[in-house]
Amino acid sequence: MLRIVFVCLGNICRSPTAEAVFRHKASKAGLHLHIDSAGTAGYHVGAKPDKRSMAVAREQGYDFNGISCRKVSDADFVECDLILAMDNANLDSLRKRCPEEHQQKVQLMMSYADTEFSEVPDPYYGGQKGFSLVLDLIEQASDGLVTHCQALTKLNKVKV
């Protein structure tokens, strides 16, 4: 089963939103994947996602059940097929930590979106508009990622 982990700094806003959104979209597309999220820092380990992130996403029907904050583990680099960073700072942190033989797994989430945004900005210290923008960007990238996973399935490169 294809394993995907979404990563931001604290695993409190962006990456849990990506987990909830992509879990929903993958399920609607009939894809059976292991979907998770984590942070490069352990600031919020064990906590629920940010209430503002959940409020914006829940308005669009996304479910955060079972999602809690955790830190990226060494096992993620070995066990996951894709490790998708929300921004370049987290991408750099992941690449520095990732063993050489798994570097190809570490990518930017927004590489799956057709937009001028290359990163998902951190909304933590901003207002409501920031959380709405994050959701919009994650939805766009998730649509592209679903298409990518479907293509992998058709090519039988990955059994999903």
How far apart CA 137 and CA 118 sit, in angstroms, is: 10
Residue tagged active-site, from 13, 14, 76, 87: 14
Give me the residues paired with residue 108 across strands. 85
Phi, psi angles (nearest 5°) of residue 142? -65, -40
Q: Which amino acid is located at 158 in the chain?
A: V
Q: Which amino acid is located at 128 in the chain?
A: Q
Q: Is 8 a catalytic residue?
A: yes
Identify the CA nearest to 143 among candidates 61, 33, 24. Answer: 24
Phi, psi angles (nearest 5°) of residue 3? -115, 125
Residue tagged active-site, from 50, 76, 81, 122: 122
Helices within 4-99 (DSSP H only): 14-28, 51-59, 74-79, 88-97
Q: Is 14 a catalytic residue?
A: yes
How far apart CA 1 and CA 32 sit, in angstroms, is: 7
Residue tagged active-site, from 8, 13, 69, 98: 8
Q: Is 70 a catalytic residue?
A: no
Residues with catalytic function: 8, 14, 122
